[in-house]
Structure 1
Amino acid sequence: MRTTAKITQDNEGARPGEATPAGGETSLRSSEELLAQLDEDQRAVASHLSGPLCVLAGAGTGKTRAITYRIANGVAQGAFVPTQVLAVTFTARAASEMRGRLRDLGVPGVQARTFHAAALRQLSYFWPQAVGGSLPPIAEHKASLVGEASGRLGLGADRLAVRDLAGEIEWAKVSMITADDYVAAASKAGRDGAAGHDLTTIARLLSVYEDVKNERGVIDFEDVLLLTVGILAEREDIARTVRGQYRHFVVDEFQDVSPLQYRLLQLWLGERQELCVVGDASQTIYSFTGASPRYLTQFRRTYPEAVEVRLVRDYRSTPQVVSLANDVLARAGRERSTSSVQLVAQRPSGPPVSFTAYDDDEAEARGIAERVKRLIAHGVRTSEIAILYRTNAQGEAFEQALANAGIGYLVRGGERFFSRREVREAIGLLRGAVRSADADTPMPQTVRDILTSAGWAPQAPATRGAVRERWESLNALVQLADDLATTRGADLAALVAELTERAAEQHAPTVEGVTLASLHAAKGLEWDAVFLAGVSEGLLPISFAETPESVAEERRLLYVGVTRAREHLAISYARARAVGGRASRKPSRFLDGIWPSEEGPARTTDRARRRARAEAVEHALTSGDADPEVFEALRTWRAALASATSKPAYTILHDTTLVAIATAKPQTLRQLAMLRGIGAAKIEAHGAAVLAIVRGEDVPAPEAP
């Protein structure tokens, strides 16, 4: 039996919504309660608590949910001690989110960190014992080090060349390749140097770069891992101490592990096999940095006893988006990895994917801005819209077009949220008010009162520019306060603690504005509406992708872009670069057989969409997933409420939401809030009535306002 609606998967981001004790901690639920919240495949992940486990998780299939529930279930069953679990992620944001989820599940002691953060803690602690003295400072940027090394060799690199040379140095170090071995290793890997310099010159640069670094008495980002590996490999007593601390390991995004990171993981494990890895070979898009999917694809060769679980139910995207994502990979032929998964859509039908060819880049930017405006007019939040492209240079045209249309935007990779002056000042005000805050005043109201003095107002200013950007920053703090009050019952002290942690991890709250980002920067994120721009030959695949391996990675990059969209997906390209230019561009080869004819894509009618949704509801009711009596009781209540309030029934709760409720049968507001279509406002308005209906209780007939 399918359990597609057993629990609405939270798009890797949403959290439960029932209030918890002040301070934000929750009690650990029983193993039965935890497992009941998962689908069949996720339950298999969460139930396997001993020995090696490989989870092949497609985009949007709830992998973070599965592994956090696995940790919580292990603790609930006494198999794991929270402080002895190390969960490794690839971004500080992902680590922060995982810790938050674990706290919400009543497991606050787990260490969830990036490889570098975990290694730095160990290196700082053991350096005095292993080497003596204090750990050398870490250079914030390589540019000056690379620039000086380049100058000593007479290479005369400019800013862009320095960036490329730094990237090649990083590749060599994470691949554990020394200057003496570089020429042979780089040649074997198909690399041709960097910034116009041949392999021999780069090998010399590697050696001089290390000299410059040593003379300055600093280490770089990669040295944190290299030095930790060296200490653990050479000092068995220190390695034994680390292994005594951490007994269970979880590694997310395992397809992105580099040889250096994998070596560190091996040293952490020793002879043990208590390892759970999660990844998706179809999302391998960082090979140029040294990442290798072979550790994921060959995991069962390394660990013959490993259990493999595939997560294929996509809870993020509509069937239209999922179908396109599957098509993009299916056309890869032999390039496709056997570790890839075929996604199965779980959401109701949505709008068709659109394909548009514009005359030139300017027309494409202008056309997308107009479509963004229409989405906003139909109720899509700007923070739920993204424009994605292959290279950062493409972003400028969209910045200009959105500005001309009066639409706010933010460039991912721009100024960091917690570095903004208004944010730093606001956090200072909140921190100063912790002791004097009125315990009887709800925390969100206290935050609003405090931030009003910093320039926040209930209504956004009509103007654009700096004034609006300042308001949006402050409003993001207000929204975070609302979320934490709802999900954890947090007080002001807990909010300040959360902000302090987020600042350290650069885990910014959501800021209203259309996101502009490269496809690489979009990895791990998702939006209701996504515009994939510039999907043409020469841009995707990029012109310098010449080998079969590099072209295959470009295809995976498109797949990542497609799977960022929950509901609306638009793909476009411009026939010419400049206005009046030669129309020589063609759609990407990855869309051969997918891109519609000049007549345009077939349009799904409203009637067809309604029919598809009705069929999905009917399937859930007849397949045994949903309780038909609960569904009918909910629908009767909704009809009475719609009549009393003169509102369309679907605006109260959609049929698909009623099915999810009738399937999961939530008993608490927390469980109810985990279902799609139940936001904080609807919880407040209808939560009590819905829970009463699920329990089989009579609900008073709604009265007209």
Structure 2
Amino acid sequence: MATLAIDRDFLLDFAKLEQSVQARVSEVFEKFDSATHTGLHLEKIKNARNPQFRSIRITQFWRGIVLAPKSGDTFTLLKVLPHDDAYTWAERRDVSVNQITGSIEVRDDAAFDEQLAQLDHQSSNATGSYLFEHIKDSELVRLGLDEKAIRFARLLTEDSQLDAAQPYFPTIQWQALYGLAAGMTPDEVWADLGAAILDGPVDTDDLDAAIKRSSERVLLVDGPAEMMAVFANPFALWRIYLHPAQRSVVDATYRGPARVTGGPGTGKTVVALHRARRLAERGEGQVLVTTFTSTLAESLDDGIQMLTDDSDIASRIIVQHVDRLAHRVFRDVHGSPRMIGSADEKKLWRSIIDELGIDFSEAFLGEEWRQVVLAQRVGSATAYLAAKRTGRGRRLGATQKAQVWQAVWEFEEALKTRALHTHETVRREATKILEQRVDKPYRHIVVDEAQDLSPDQWRLLRAAVPDAPDDLFLAGDTHQRIYNNHVSLRELGINVTGRSNRLSINYRTTAEILRWSLGLMHGSRIDDMNDRFDSIAGCRSEIHGDFPVVEGFSTRDAEFAFIAQKVQEWLDNGIAPSEIGIAVRSKKLGETVAEILGKHGIPTSDLSDTRSSTESVSIGTMHRMKGLEFRCLAVGAVTSRQLPAPYAVTAASEDEHTHERDLQRERSLLFVACTRAREQLLVTWHGEPSPFLTPLL
């Protein structure tokens, strides 16, 4: 019986095909087994670079390119293109087996040969040094480079030549050269390749065996029903692929808490989902998958459902955002808490300030309570006097500290007297309850978007799982921190030293969008939650596409009209409405954009509305964009009045350190929004652009 394998990159291609072509592809390959068995439809391709390439007729105009086995029964669908383009593709490309990973590599061999000839010609006139002259051939062979790639590497004199080669260079081989060019040693590059390296010798002539072990690139389909499910959700399935550099992190056994970090789109969430499934497969107890908002929790739950088809394993995984966990634990003991809203909380602080006659703002006291008192479990005036206030910026003398503590004490007493709670006090009580329990509710906890959790949320999670191997697994990127939470994991009893892994390859965003977005963060010093500074240097994408469109306008009406025009252009080009997003700084701006798009007949929905339609363009605040992705994204109203938002930034005169942190958080918010785009990014403003954009204009 013939087995169909589908190249991962074709899932992206399939999603972009016209619906009539998609339907015909599905119909042809649904009958693929019987057609192959009778020898029908598959035809040899004259002048194909690889003799195992075959063509299959989709329509009179469209052809599929299939890699046929020399022996065995696994056929791999590589491309579906218009007739002439399909045959040209087969004439220019080849498929080979990497000598250290054992996986297949699809390469544009014709472009490779053309560039090699050009470099060879240029080298005859070269006067400077070569890029890899300090690296031995034996090291390049050890890192998976074949003879032609080594010859190519020996002719390179500039980094830009290597960057230009990425679209047609075999992926693993290009990654090895990229690491060496970035200053890594051969041993460091070897370690960076990690789980991609295969134990034992590789038969580079056995394409059939390579296909079967190329799970990071090829999806084996078990029958027509599974194939139809793949074609029904191509983007969704592509998102949950586990790539070689991620597999070792998922499969590892750690002696304690562990984490994975990396820039946007590097697959941290994919790793977290697979890690949860792997832990559940061990059958040691319940696995909690959690994050900081309900929206993200719903997205994680969707991923778990897509990834886990075994009901027994699925039943061991609970997806729940951290505050819901806190409220559930609290409610089981005390019943439902009466919550105080943010406006009433501010009024309470104001009344205390007026009563005590002290010179502090409501915002300052609220943050001092959260970032110092609650974060460090300060329970007395003496403890507060001795508490570390790192990051708070504004210095306080002994008299001022006494005043602050008095205000905090009055605030907490008022809450007790009125039987009111904030989310923080609910978490504090839930943590106490869990710490007293010998039987913890979970055996493993997996945390996504870890950088946005507060100290008391971490303390709650630490109390919800026993101190044991593989207890906590964290995924996050501090460059994407969009809330005012700065923690030291070590001080919270979560030590990940020696158990931290970094991902560097972006699987979502094009290289052009990623490079532009990284420019927003240039020069930023970001802590890594482990008492050091973090870096996203080396974060790269293998996908190429259009450069971001960045444009300013004289008025808001002109800007939003242009956004509507661009969205209509995307729709006209076959992009589904659900694959288009618009991000703005405030909900009010989102409502204005929705109104203008409505006048153009474009349906929209608000991301904050759980009932929003899947057949409409999604509009949301930059905070709501967290954890989402869109094929096409517009980031609007990036003006000096909106980013940084005045209400979100502490005045420098009040607290200079907090002022700088607030600015960094606003910069990160824009960075997060822009990196939600997969293929096309539009960034616009009216009037004066945001100072975050100025260096890139």
Shorter-chain TM band: 0.5 to 0.7
Equivalents in 2 of 1:542, 1:361: separation in Å?
Answer: 17
Corresponding residue number in structure 2 for 1:61: 266
Equivalents in 1 of 2:228, 2:327: separation in Å?
Answer: 36
Cα shift at 1:262: 2.1
Counterparts in 2 of 1:353 and 1:138: CA distance versus 1, 3 Å: same
The equivalences for 1:81-230 within 5 A come to 81=284, 83-104=285-306, 105=308, 106=310, 107-108=313-314, 109-125=316-332, 127=333, 134-139=334-339, 141-144=341-344, 146-147=346-347, 150=350, 175=375, 176=377, 189-190=391-392, 206-230=408-432
Cα shift at 1:218: 3.7
TM-score, L = length of structure 2: 0.55
Cα shift at 1:530: 1.4
* Alignment pair present for 1:277 and 2:277: no
Cα shift at 1:209: 4.1
Counterparts in 2 of 1:341 and 1:250: CA distance versus 1, 3 Å: farther
Q: Indicate the SS of the match to 1:241.
A: coil
Residues 287 and 444 of structure 2 are in contact (CA less than 8 Å); yes or no, is this contact kept in structure 1? yes
Equivalents in 1 of 2:628, 2:403: separation in Å?
Answer: 39
Amino acid at match of 1:320: E
Residues 312 and 343 of structure 1 are in contact (CA less than 8 Å); yes or no, is this contact kept in structure 2? yes
Residues 44 and 309 of structure 1 are in contact (CA less than 8 Å); yes or no, is this contact kept in structure 2? no
Corresponding residue number in structure 2 for 1:417: 610
Corresponding residue number in structure 2 for 1:670: none
Corresponding residue number in structure 2 for 1:566: 678
Amino acid at match of 1:532: V
Aligned mate of 2:691, from 585, 588, 591: 588
Amino acid at match of 1:241: D
Cα shift at 1:569: 0.4
* Alignment pair present for 1:514 and 2:634: no
Residues 555 and 590 of structure 1 are in contact (CA less than 8 Å); yes or no, is this contact kept in structure 2? no
Amino acid at match of 1:374: E
Corresponding residue number in structure 1 for 2:247: 43
Amino acid at match of 2:297: A
Amino acid at match of 2:319: A
* Alignment pair present for 1:320 and 2:522: no
Equivalents in 2 of 1:367, 1:177: separation in Å?
Answer: 53
Amino acid at match of 1:58: G
Cα shift at 1:366: 1.9
Counterparts in 2 of 1:551 and 1:99: CA distance versus 1, 3 Å: closer
* Alignment pair present for 1:256 and 2:452: yes
* Alignment pair present for 1:246 and 2:451: no
What are the superposed Cα offsets for residues 68-115 of structure 1, whole Å, 9 maximum, x if unpaired? Answer: 222333444x3x43x432222222233344344434422212122222
Corresponding residue number in structure 2 for 1:340: 536
Cα shift at 1:563: 0.6
Amino acid at match of 1:250: V
Larger-Rg structure: 2
Cα shift at 1:568: 1.1
Equivalents in 1 of 2:367, 2:565: separation in Å?
Answer: 37
Counterparts in 2 of 1:570 and 1:54: CA distance versus 1, 3 Å: same
Corresponding residue number in structure 1 for 2:234: none
Aligned mate of 2:277, from 63, 68, 72: 72
Equivalents in 2 of 1:221, 1:18: separation in Å?
Answer: 46
Corresponding residue number in structure 2 for 1:394: 589
Equivalents in 2 of 1:516, 1:256: separation in Å?
Answer: 22
Cα shift at 1:251: 1.8
Cα shift at 1:381: 2.5
Please state which structure has a larger fraction of its residues in helix: 1
Cα shift at 1:395: 3.3
Q: Over the residues paired in the alignment, what is the CA RMSD in angstroms?
A: 4.1
Cα shift at 1:39: 1.3
Aligned mate of 1:307, from 499, 512, 526: 499
Amino acid at match of 2:291: T
Corresponding residue number in structure 2 for 1:625: none
Equivalents in 2 of 1:294, 1:360: separation in Å?
Answer: 44
Equivalents in 2 of 1:144, 1:303: separation in Å?
Answer: 39
What are the superposed Cα offsets for residues 501-558 of structure 1, whole Å, 9 maximum, x if unpaired? Answer: xxxxxxxxxx333333222221111111111223344533445465433333333222
Amino acid at match of 1:292: H
Cα shift at 1:410: 2.6
Corresponding residue number in structure 2 for 1:463: none
Equivalents in 2 of 1:249, 1:316: separation in Å?
Answer: 26
Cα shift at 1:370: 1.8
Cα shift at 1:270: 5.1
Amino acid at match of 1:286: Y
Please state which structure has a larger fraction of its residues in strand: 2
Q: Indicate the SS of the match to 2:643.
A: coil
Residues 256 and 293 of structure 1 are in contact (CA less than 8 Å); yes or no, is this contact kept in structure 2? no
Cα shift at 1:400: 3.5
Counterparts in 2 of 1:356 and 1:141: CA distance versus 1, 3 Å: same
Equivalents in 2 of 1:294, 1:187: separation in Å?
Answer: 13
Residues 177 and 185 of structure 1 are in contact (CA less than 8 Å); yes or no, is this contact kept in structure 2? yes
Amino acid at match of 1:528: R
Residues 373 and 384 of structure 2 are in contact (CA less than 8 Å); yes or no, is this contact kept in structure 1? no
Amino acid at match of 2:338: I
Equivalents in 2 of 1:365, 1:152: separation in Å?
Answer: 44
Cα shift at 1:279: 1.0
Corresponding residue number in structure 2 for 1:618: none
Aligned mate of 1:378, from 573, 597, 613: 573
* Alignment pair present for 1:354 and 2:549: yes
Residues 530 and 568 of structure 1 are in contact (CA less than 8 Å); yes or no, is this contact kept in structure 2? yes
Corresponding residue number in structure 1 for 2:121: none
Amino acid at match of 1:295: L
Counterparts in 2 of 1:119 and 1:407: CA distance versus 1, 3 Å: same
Equivalents in 1 of 2:560, 2:385: separation in Å?
Answer: 43
Residues 266 and 505 of structure 2 are in contact (CA less than 8 Å); yes or no, is this contact kept in structure 1? yes
Residues 604 and 618 of structure 2 are in contact (CA less than 8 Å); yes or no, is this contact kept in structure 1? yes
Corresponding residue number in structure 2 for 1:292: 486
Residues 313 and 346 of structure 1 are in contact (CA less than 8 Å); yes or no, is this contact kept in structure 2? yes
Amino acid at match of 2:642: L
Cα shift at 1:268: 3.4
Corresponding residue number in structure 1 for 2:643: 540
Equivalents in 2 of 1:74, 1:362: separation in Å?
Answer: 52
Kindly tell me the number of residue pairs found equivalent between the two proteins: 444
Residues 57 and 341 of structure 1 are in contact (CA less than 8 Å); yes or no, is this contact kept in structure 2? no
Cα shift at 1:293: 5.3
* Alignment pair present for 1:557 and 2:660: no
Residues 384 and 405 of structure 2 are in contact (CA less than 8 Å); yes or no, is this contact kept in structure 1? yes
What are the superposed Cα offsets for residues 215-242 of structure 1, whole Å, 9 maximum, x if unpaired? Answer: 3334332222100222344x3xx2x121
Cα shift at 1:566: 0.9
Amino acid at match of 2:599: N
Highest RCO, 1 vs 2 (Cα 8 Å, sep ≥ 6): 1
Equivalents in 2 of 1:417, 1:17: separation in Å?
Answer: 29
Cα shift at 1:386: 2.1
Equivalents in 2 of 1:379, 1:300: separation in Å?
Answer: 51
Amino acid at match of 2:552: A
Q: Indicate the SS of the match to 2:521.
A: helix
Q: Indicate the SS of the match to 1:302.
A: coil
- State percent identity of aligned pairs: 23
Equivalents in 2 of 1:150, 1:300: separation in Å?
Answer: 35
Equivalents in 2 of 1:187, 1:116: separation in Å?
Answer: 25
Residues 186 and 192 of structure 1 are in contact (CA less than 8 Å); yes or no, is this contact kept in structure 2? no
What are the superposed Cα offsets for residues 588-645 of structure 1, whole Å, 9 maximum, x if unpaired? Answer: 34551x32xxxxxxxxxxxxxxxxxxxxxxxxxxxxxxxxxxxxxxxxxxxxxxxxxx
Amino acid at match of 1:89: T
* Alignment pair present for 1:526 and 2:629: yes
Aligned mate of 1:366, from 549, 561, 579: 561
Residues 273 and 304 of structure 2 are in contact (CA less than 8 Å); yes or no, is this contact kept in structure 1? yes
TM-score, L = length of structure 1: 0.55
Equivalents in 2 of 1:88, 1:97: separation in Å?
Answer: 11
Counterparts in 2 of 1:37 and 1:252: CA distance versus 1, 3 Å: closer
Residues 541 and 554 of structure 1 are in contact (CA less than 8 Å); yes or no, is this contact kept in structure 2? yes
Amino acid at match of 1:565: A
Amino acid at match of 1:214: K
